[in-house]
Amino acid sequence: MIERFRAFLEELTGTGARIGKDDPRVAVIGLCFQVMEADGAIRSSERRTMRKIIKEHYRLDDAALNALVAAGETAESEAIDFYRFTSEIKRHLSEDQRIELVGMLWDIVYADGARSEMEDHAIWRIADLLGVSGRDRVLKRREAAAKIDMVEEENEAQRES
């Protein structure tokens, strides 16, 4: 009884750090980890960028951020593919929010100053599963690249065919 009352008070005040597996924020962090791991290594610059983006986007304090990142990392380690996360996200986020998420993923990719073919492929699959168009995915990639003054040398038309 006391535990239920405490949980109720935490819910009212927003101080509870309990994060459920069906929390769409956990799915977002899970996708972030999958994208960071796509090239075989999670770099500290990618991790820092992810934490900064998530903290600002969800307006979290450090304790809540740490709890959410831990939950997302655990969920990612248990996932076998992108679908677990993308299906959860599609249920909770609007089309504009999903497009913004793809932009956040590109920001994380470019945090180390480069992007790999594997990261490209991961975001292409994620965007496809989220229902984000190729056009929007490419626009978000270009925006992320422009943020760090990277020069795009690829011919996107060849990549899309």
| Torsion angles phi and psi, residue 39, rounded to 5 | -90, 10
- Mean pLDDT calculated for residue range 156-161: 51
CA 99 to chain centre: 11
CATH for 110 = 1.10.3680.10
pLDDT digits (tens, 9 = 90+) for 61-79: 999 999 999 999 999 988 8
Q: How many CB atoms sit inside 10 A of residue 112's CB?
A: 19
User: What is the spatial distance between Cα 14 and Cα 41, in angstroms, rounded to a whole number?
Assistant: 35
CA 142 to chain centre: 17
What confidence category does residue 18 fall into, taking pLDDT thresholds of 50, 70 and 90?
low
pTM of the model: 0.78
The residue segments making up the domain with residue 2 are 1-160
Give the chain's domain count: 1
Residue whose entry in the numeric block shows the structure tokens 């943020």 = 147
Q: Within 13 Å of residue 76, how many CA atoms lie on the same side as its CB?
A: 20
